[in-house]
Amino acid sequence: MPNDTPYDTPVLRAIPREQHTISRKDISPNALRVLYRLREGGHEAYLVGGAVRDLLAGGRPKDFDIATGATPEEVKALFRNCRLIGRRFRLAHVVFGREIIEVATFRANSDDGSGDRETHEDGRLLRDNVYGTVEDDAVRRDFTANALYYTIEDFSVRDYVGGFEDVQNRVLKLIGDPETRYREDPVRMLRAVRLAAKLDFSIDPATAAPIRALAPLLSEAAPARLFEECLKLFLSGHGVASFEGLERHGLLPALLPEAAAAMKANRSGALRAVVLEGLRGTDARVAADEPVSPAFLFALLLWPAYCRTLMSLQAQDVPPADAQRRAADRVTVHELQAVALPRRFSVPMQEIWLLQSRFGLRQRKRVMRMLAHPRFRAAFDFLQVRQAGSSEHAADIAFWREAQLDPDMAIAHTPPAEDGEAPRAPRRRRRRPASASAG
């Protein structure tokens, strides 16, 4: 059971403007607008969390969040373009076109009965809407690097838990007792790995120590929430580092149980090599600001599980086409118990897998049908990634690369079958004999 005593005693240290690197020109004008309006309304308000952390670490934040002493209802009263969301955490969203500035009320650690807090018997926070001061809010945050507050009052950074030094030292450290904090919210373990990968930070030894033992707690997290965490882990440009971090801290089996087991059993390391090669490509696409697909990502992450399940079914003499379909369905259903993969992504994921067996076909009709398939390009990209695990795909890759440019030429260059015979010509359709009454 979690206790209601503060995790750490907050001690304010104000870092003046001349001692930090944050400039207003690097902050969203809409976020500044919200900060000034809240201040004019008589409320404390700070830029907080990831935006402050990233600006200090030399990054460029995508989101600008604000913490304030105003309640969600008071924020809504100040902004006509505001909507209130959330039940677990009540928040205000101030909407400026496509940009949303998230405004959270300072949260307290102890509940005197006037707030709205609910915890599960195992320590998980189910709802936390107990409001307090900025000092209370600081020690309620997860990592010290996220508990930094930038104020427009004097442009200083306010630090209550030593986060400024941790950012300077590039170390990720939990506030309070790590095991207690992970039990409150098991997804914090994934956040630790993701932020360390994104920021190129190390994880403080005390923060990392309980993760492997507590990894099974992720099974208690909502599968839909874990799906969103997977997208953040692997589609933010740091997929390889995130994957290696999950492996290092024993979290991969909790997130991708069958895939992790398949890679562990694969002595050659070929399956893991394919996953890492695909993640490198995904990271490169994100860096080049090119689109990335959750369907392709999960086809990649679950490929080891699919291969292992397919081999098991083939060993039971299940016909190849049936084995492929059954393996795809089985892997998908089992993974849904951990991660809520939406059908709009699971269906194309399976198509990418099932198309792999068709790359060995060379008949003209099948080649043209394959080229016209809506998942062809994704399946071909996947085939190229598979070369990281085996060189046997080189001939297929060369053929289909040429086929995309000139299918007739590619088919003409196809070598004869192994028995020396040329590929059979398509069978001519036989005419039905005319009936006697046709005259």
Q: Which of 65, 136, 166, 396 is catalytic?
A: 65
Average the pLDDT over each of 32-36, 263-267, 319-323, 427-431 and give the range with the smallest value.
427-431
* Residue 295: Cβ-neighbour burial (10 angstroms; 0-12, 13-18, 19+): buried
What are the C-alpha distances in Å from 364 to residues 369, 413, 427? Answer: 9, 12, 13
Residue 350 pLDDT > 80: yes
Active site residue 65: yes
For residues 229 and 218, give the distance between their C-alpha atoms in angstroms, rounded to a whole number: 11
CA-atom Rg of the chain in angstroms: 28
For residues 63 and 89, give the distance between their C-alpha atoms in angstroms, rounded to a whole number: 18
Quick one: pLDDT at residue 3? 39
Specify the DSSP class assigned to residue 358.
Answer: G
pLDDT in tens, 204-254: 999 999 999 999 999 999 999 999 999 999 999 999 999 999 999 999 999
Nearest to 2 by CA among 95, 130, 103, 163: 130
Tokens 């979690």 belong to 2
Q: How many residues does the chain have?
A: 439
Active site residue 200: no
pLDDT in tens, 161-202: 999 999 999 999 999 999 999 999 999 999 999 999 999 999
Quick one: pLDDT at residue 406? 85
Quick one: pLDDT at residue 431? 59
Active site residue 142: yes
Q: Which of 63, 111, 177, 381 is catalytic?
A: 63
Q: Which of 128, 136, 142, 204 is catalytic?
A: 142
Q: What is the mean pLDDT of residues 19-40?
A: 95
Residue 307 pLDDT > 90: yes
What's the pLDDT band for 8 if we cut at 50, 70, 90?
Answer: low
Q: What pTM value is reported for the model?
A: 0.84
Helix boundaries (H) for 79-162: 134-140
Residue 351 φ then ψ, to 5°: -65, -40
Quick one: pLDDT at residue 123? 47
Specify the DSSP class assigned to residue 185.
Answer: -
What's the pLDDT band for 284 if we cut at 50, 70, 90?
Answer: very high
The dihedral region occupied by 250, where left means phi > 0, alpha psi between -120 and 50, and beta the remainder, is left
Tokens 């394919």 belong to 274
For residues 96 and 28, give the distance between their C-alpha atoms in angstroms, rounded to a whole number: 11
Q: What is the mean pLDDT of residues 77-90?
A: 89
